[in-house]
Amino acid sequence: MIKRILVLSILAAMLAACGSPAKPAATTAPVTESKLKIVASTTWVGAFALAAGATDITVIAPSTTQHPPDYDPKPSDLEAITNADYVLYAGFEGFAALMQEAVGGDTSRLITVMTENSPEMIHAEVARLGELFGTQEAAARYLEYFDTEYSLLTGDVKARIGKHPEVVVAQAFVTPWAKFAGLEIAGTYGPMPLTPDELKTLVDKKPVVVLDNWHMGGGQPIVDATGALKIDLINFPDENMDLLKVFHTNAGRIQDAFAKQASIAQMEMPADPFKVSIAQYVMDGAGFHEIAIALSETQTIDPEYLSTVSSVSKVLSKTTRPAELTDQAQAFIESLGSFAAALEADNAAGAAELSETVHDAQHEFSHSIDYWLENIAP
């Protein structure tokens, strides 16, 4: 059944997105409203139209379908095409030919959208569609908002998972998420099933992480052969067609997967009291108290703050922690990640608030380390 979505304001849709670690101030400037009727093949295609300023969008494939391009539309699903001003599709949908047929001879209404969740492609396609719809102002406002959110999210993910030199392989349609997380791809697979030779080639690379496409799969044979960490990532938004919600979802999945991997590794190795003491020394000497005071009084970010936060996060992430301190250490590392993201985004107000959180957490964590060293450590 067709899901028809009428959105009165692109800005309202963006502000309804999931919260980020440090949100920018909201704007309320007027946004051009499109009167065009748009039919989109999937919510992914529809999301590009929504971002460009379209407000009357009918989606053919339900978002509840795991791989929407495989949806088998009924004739009634295609009826909206008749009265549509523009019909948008990616071209790889299984029902693309039916959409072409429904448009008839007026191929000028049929628009191909390049669906890829990279900032470069989102910028290019949203701007192009905004020009086509006559909603350039709305498209420009969305892209400004997107850039701010993307910067915060990618900075937060990179800070939380740290630098990972491990071998990473990815399904062909989720490769942009590697750059998003600061990972380098050693090989790709899909969209067709792996052949024995392709599987051997990728397994021989000894991957530690597999970025899989939740909608299509295909990476499980690699995981079974190597024991690699598999992270299922999405590309298609839900029925709200919110592209940024996809970024929030995948950011969470990447962070959770690496945190779980780190916790397992920590539990498998005994903690060295000397190394824990060194990590505590680095943490306590970082000057979080002074940073918090300076940010509160000046609302100005010193470039050295980010270097300090990143260094402490790296030391703590690489130090094997005792089981008794694992949860507290992970929570502190995550707070450092949020702080780093605010600093990298030059969000002085957000950084000032987070600096207090980090300072308080550092004191509590240090006291817990003292207790462990004096009463529990071997």
The secondary structure of 309-338 as a DSSP string is HHHHHHHHHHSPPPGGGHHHHHHHHHHHHH
Return d(Cα 284, Cα 305) in angstroms, integer. 15
Per DSSP, 32 falls in state P
Residue type for 135, please? T
The residue whose two tokens read 């702080």 is: 339
If one looks up domain 269-375 in CATH, what number appears? 1.20.120
Nearest Cα to 372, choosing from 279, 276, 284, 286?
276
pLDDT at 345: 87
Band of pLDDT at residue 21, cut at 50, 70 and 90: very low
Q: For the segment 75-120, what is each residue's pLDDT rounded down to a tens digit?
A: 888 999 988 999 999 999 999 999 999 998 788 999 999 999 999 9
Domain borders along the chain are 3-157, 162-233, 269-375
User: Pick the residue with more confidence: 191 or 20?
Assistant: 191
Query: Sheet containing 110-112: which strands, arranged edge to edge?
Result: 3-6, 56-59, 37-40, 86-89, 110-112
Nearest Cα to 55, choosing from 145, 148, 149, 139?
139
Say which residues have a Cβ less than 8 Å from residue 165's Cβ, sequence separation at least 6: none
> Domain 3-157 is in which class?
alpha beta
- Residues paired with residue 110 on neighbouring β-strands, in sequence order: 87
Band of pLDDT at residue 337, cut at 50, 70 and 90: confident
Q: For the segment 125-151, what is each residue's pLDDT rounded down to a tens digit?
A: 999 999 999 999 999 999 999 999 999
The answer to whether domain 3-157 and domain 162-233 are alike in fold is: yes
**With pLDDT > 70 as the criterion, what percentage of the chain qualifies?**
88
Fold exhibited by the domain 162-233: Rossmann fold (3.40.50)
